[in-house]
């Protein structure tokens, strides 16, 4: 906690300057103003809040949060092997009394949800902020799930910024709130906050918390004897969370006699302001809130819109207090795809990137993403296609582009690490020549248990690990296979072959995908063989080579 209450108050006010109008801004504390992306701003906010650790797994649009911290922070910033480990590591730092930021994309929270749910029950020591980047319209994801539900499910507070300045401010606020309530706090951003740049006023970096390792068995050991008491404590905190929110000014009504209004959450507020001053605005940046706030806002309004990215989370509440609510449930706003700024315009298509070219007299050729020229996956797929597997269960990475023309060789993609498990499930139904394709990073993330399982439970599958020494799709991040850490220094290193052999498989072979003929022969033989066989297709991502040669 900060040293004195006076310092705390003035520093707190400084951070609140964006939405508590008239608060005195202490110029001598300002260093600079910079154009930052929302991701950068969250990273900057975490550093300014005095973190001792940042953990993450790459995932668009969250990746740049950890990258910013790794570049600008002298302390510890790591690419964890997956989001569950990232979150648990952050919990460890919290138990040592230190502040930690854990960042990930929305589907990453699915992976981290086990420790998240129980950490909320037990409570925390040092502040822990979970920064989540949702992807409305799923520009780079498998779904467009809404992370606010996780905050509600876990009974933790959620702050939702509408631009970079707020992303920075709310990250700092989140750390203070986390320590005040002894809970993880979510900061929920979306693509149009994460990858949008706007000015941010930098503030001085606060000191890190001192080391203070706690032993508190009643609140650190989740066993049946502790659960009901912890659950009770968590429930009691909910009232405090609502009260804190009401006093914070994070949710505000901007009303001046208008008869129409917009309830605007997060980025929705940025879009709502474009329709000023015709519409009164209820700005929502904090959950949970007292529903009377909504009731008060909609009173007397002849038309109420709800602007929110994701599911009609707030709209459902609003509908209890007004029969004039327009949004995703009533159908005026598309229930899928991102909100976009054109919400109240006549032709409301939700995704600005998929606009029909109705202005033009002819259809235009599309330009889908393709594998880079010279990509090793391309050569590998030539070989795989030639040997005609019965089914190729795919996974997540650049290699998922093998589902598109000209290859169309990947038959499924579900979530991280699922390729191997799906293949095993199919093969166990008696289907022969079933293959699984998975990248090296995805394999380390969550493929290992699936590989052990396939051998242990006797599935006959061919597991193809495409090892390009990189988490390529997200921008070539390093992994334990390369032995370089997020800060660019040497870390521990593991061997893919050794891991596969240790998983109890029948064989492990390595092949160079540029040798298409040799690969074809090998794949064909292995597809027919009984047991679990691994073929590692090994060649560096060409972007990694390009970067290394610069």
Partner 1 sequence: METVNVLFSGVGGQGIILSSMILAKAAFQAGYMVKESELHGMAQRGGSVISHVRFGEEVHSPLIRKGKADFLVALEELEGLRNVFYLKPDGRIILNRKKVVPPSANPDIAPYPEDTESLMKSMGFSVDSANALGNAKVENIIVMGILSRHLSFPLSIWEKVIPSSVPSKTVEINLAAFRKGRDIAEAKAA
Count CA within 13 A, CB hemisphere, residue 84.
10
Is omega for the bond preceding 288 within 30 degrees of 0, making it cis? yes
Closest contact distance (angstroms) between CB of 22 and partner 1 is 18
Q: In a 10 Å sphere around its CB, with 0-12 CB exposed, 13-18 middle and 19+ buried, how is residue 223 labelled?
A: exposed
Site pattern 297..336 for partner 1 (x: CB under 8 A): ----------------------------------------
Among positions 388-407, residues that touch partner 1 (CB under 8 A) are: 398, 401, 404-406
Closest contact distance (angstroms) between CB of 139 and partner 1 is 6
- DSSP notation for 224-262: HHHHHHHHHHHHHHHHHHHHHHHHHT-SEEE-SS-SEEE
Closest contact distance (angstroms) between CB of 226 and partner 1 is 43
Compute the distance between CA of residue 69 and CA of residue 522 in angstroms, rounded to an integer. Answer: 44
Among positions 55-114, residues that touch partner 1 (CB under 8 A) are: 60-61
Is residue 372 near partner 1 by the rule CB under 8 A?
yes
CA nearest neighbour of 294 among 329, 341, 246: 246
Among positions 24-53, residues that touch partner 1 (CB under 8 A) are: 35
Closest contact distance (angstroms) between CB of 349 and partner 1 is 9
> Which C-beta is closer to partner 1: that of 22 or that of 363?
363
Among positions 137-156, residues that touch partner 1 (CB under 8 A) are: 139-140
Is residue 448 near partner 1 by the rule CB under 8 A?
no
Compute the distance between CA of residue 187 and CA of residue 192 in angstroms, rounded to an integer. Answer: 14
Compute the distance between CA of residue 9 and CA of residue 133 in angstroms, rounded to an integer. Answer: 30
Residue 16 sits at φ, ψ, to 5 deg, of -80, 0
Site pattern 193..232 for partner 1 (x: CB under 8 A): x-xxxxx---------------------------------
CA angle 92, 97, 99 (to 5 degrees): 80
Residue 76 sits at φ, ψ, to 5 deg, of -80, 125
How would you classify the pairing of strands 434-439 and 391-393? parallel
Residue entry with tokens 């002819």: 362
Q: Which of 22, 217, 331, 368 binds partner 1 (CB under 8 A)?
A: 368
Closest contact distance (angstroms) between CB of 377 and partner 1 is 12
Q: Maximum Cα–Cα distance for the chain, whole Å?
A: 76
Residue entry with tokens 């949060």: 65
505-534: string of b/e by CB count within 10 Å (b at 16+)?
beebeebebeebeebbebbbebbeeebbbb
Closest contact distance (angstroms) between CB of 195 and partner 1 is 6
Region for 181 from its dihedrals, namely left if φ exceeds 0, alpha if ψ lies in -120 to 50, beta otherwise: alpha
Q: Which of 369, 449, 483, 488 binds partner 1 (CB under 8 A)?
A: 369
Is residue 431 near partner 1 by the rule CB under 8 A?
no
Q: Which of 32, 74, 347, 517 binds partner 1 (CB under 8 A)?
A: 347
Binding window for partner 1 (CB under 8 A); candidates: 42-50, 224-232, 365-373, 386-394: 365-373
Binding residues with partner 1: total (CB under 8 A): 52
Q: Tokens at residue 204, please? A: 């001085």
> Which C-beta is closer to partner 1: that of 372 or that of 452?
372
Q: Which of 217, 367, 430, 517 binds partner 1 (CB under 8 A)?
A: 367
Binding window for partner 1 (CB under 8 A); candidates: 41-49, 85-93, 354-362, 453-461: 354-362
Compute the distance between CA of residue 195 and CA of residue 178 in angstroms, rounded to an integer. Answer: 26
Binding window for partner 1 (CB under 8 A); candidates: 15-23, 72-80, 362-370, 455-463: 362-370
> Which C-beta is closer to partner 1: that of 323 or that of 357?
357
Interface positions with partner 1 (CB under 8 A) = 35, 60-61, 139-140, 163, 191-193, 195-199, 267, 269-271, 273-274, 340-342, 345, 347, 352-353, 355, 357-360, 362-372, 398, 401, 404-406, 473-475, 543
């Amino acid at each position: 906690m900060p040293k004195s209450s006076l310092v705390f108050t003035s520093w707190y006010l400084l951070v609140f300057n964006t939405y508590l109008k008239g608060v005195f801004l202490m110029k001598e504390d300002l260093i600079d103003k910079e154009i930052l992306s929302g991701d950068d701003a969250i990273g900057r906010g975490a550093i300014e809040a005095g973190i001792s650790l940042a953990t993450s797994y790459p995932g668009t649009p969250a990746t740049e949060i950890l990258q910013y911290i790794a570049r600008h922070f002298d302390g510890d910033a790591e690419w964890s092997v997956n989001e569950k480990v990232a979150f648990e590591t952050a919990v460890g730092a919290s138990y040592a009394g230190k502040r930690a930021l854990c960042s990930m994309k929305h589907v990453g929270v699915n992976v981290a949800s086990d420790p998240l749910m129980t950490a909320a029950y037990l409570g925390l020591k040092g502040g822990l902020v979970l920064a989540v980047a949702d992807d409305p319209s799923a520009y780079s994801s498998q779904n467009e799930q809404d992370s606010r539900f996780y905050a509600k499910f876990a009974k933790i507070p959620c702050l939702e910024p509408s631009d970079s300045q707020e992303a920075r401010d709310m990250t700092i606020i989140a750390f203070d709130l986390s320590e005040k309530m002894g809970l993880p706090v979510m900061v929920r951003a979306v693509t149009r906050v994460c990858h949008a740049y706007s000015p941010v006023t930098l503030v001085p970096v606060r000191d890190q918390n001192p080391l203070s390792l706690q032993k508190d068995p009643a609140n650190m050991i989740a066993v049946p004897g502790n659960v009901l008491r912890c659950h009770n404590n968590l429930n009691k905190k909910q009232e405090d969370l609502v009260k804190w929110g009401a006093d914070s000014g994070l949710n505000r009504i901007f009303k001046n006699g208008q008869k129409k209004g917009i309830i605007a959450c997060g980025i929705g507020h940025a879009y709502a302001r474009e329709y000023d001053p015709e519409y009164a605005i209820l700005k929502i940046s904090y959950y949970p809130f007292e529903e009377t706030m909504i009731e008060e806002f909609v009173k007397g309004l002849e038309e109420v819109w709800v602007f929110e990215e994701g599911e009609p989370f707030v709209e459902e509440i609003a509908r209890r207090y007004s029969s004039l609510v327009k949004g995703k449930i009533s159908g005026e706003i598309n229930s899928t795809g991102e909100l976009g700024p054109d919400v109240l315009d006549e032709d409301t298509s939700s995704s600005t990137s998929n606009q029909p070219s109705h202005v033009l007299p002819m259809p235009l050729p599309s330009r889908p993403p393709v594998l880079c020229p010279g990509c090793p996956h391309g050569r590998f797929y030539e070989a795989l296609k030639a040997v005609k597997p019965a089914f190729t269960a795919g996974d997540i990475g650049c290699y998922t582009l093998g589902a598109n023309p000209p290859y169309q060789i990947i038959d499924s993609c579900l979530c991280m690490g699922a390729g191997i498990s799906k293949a095993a499930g199919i093969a166990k139904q008696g289907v022969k020549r079933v293959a699984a394709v998975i990248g090296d990073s995805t394999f380390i993330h969550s493929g290992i248990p699936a590989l052990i399982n396939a051998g242990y439970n006797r599935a006959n599958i061919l597991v193809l690990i495409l090892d390009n020494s990189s988490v390529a799709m997200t921008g070539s991040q390093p992994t334990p296979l390369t032995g370089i850490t997020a800060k660019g220094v040497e870390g521990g290193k593991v061997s893919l072959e050794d891991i596969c052999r240790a998983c109890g498989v029948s064989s492990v072979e390595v092949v160079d995908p540029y040798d298409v003929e040799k690969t074809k022969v090998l794949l064909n033989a292995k597809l027919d063989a009984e047991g679990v066989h691994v073929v590692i297709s090994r060649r560096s991502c060409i972007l990694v080579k390009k970067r290394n040669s610069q």
